[in-house]
């Protein structure tokens, strides 16, 4: 049994609001929780995440560990052949 008058009020049906619409309910010490991002609109969870390629780092990583696609490796081989022939 909790001590009286020391615990905050518990709201078992607190509303989680994102972009002006209720997205879920949960238990909280606040009746409404306003969030900017939640799992329903975050790119990681929705599968729309894009990798930002800064200075070709992703391409360099892919080549280094042999993960380049066949079209990438073909274009690399062609460009290396052109350099060798000059």
| pLDDT of 33 above 90 | yes
What strands lie across the sheet with 21-28, from one edge to the other?
A: 21-28, 11-18, 32-35
Element (H, E) at 46: helix 43-46
Q: What is the pLDDT of residue 42?
A: 76
pLDDT, one tens digit per residue, over 59-83 is: 788 888 887 665 554 555 555 555 5
Is 6-49 CATH 3.50.50.60? no
pTM of the entire structure? Answer: 0.47
């Amino acid at each position: 049994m909790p001590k009286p008058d020391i615990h905050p009020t518990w709201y078992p049906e607190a509303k989680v609001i994102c972009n002006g619409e209720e997205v879920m309910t949960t238990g909280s010490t606040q009746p409404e929780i306003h969030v900017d991002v939640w799992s329903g609109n975050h790119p990681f969870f929705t599968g729309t995440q894009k990798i930002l390629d800064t200075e070709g780092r992703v391409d360099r990583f892919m080549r280094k560990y042999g993960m380049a696609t066949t079209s990438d490796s073909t274009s690399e081989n062609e460009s290396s052949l052109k350099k060798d022939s000059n």
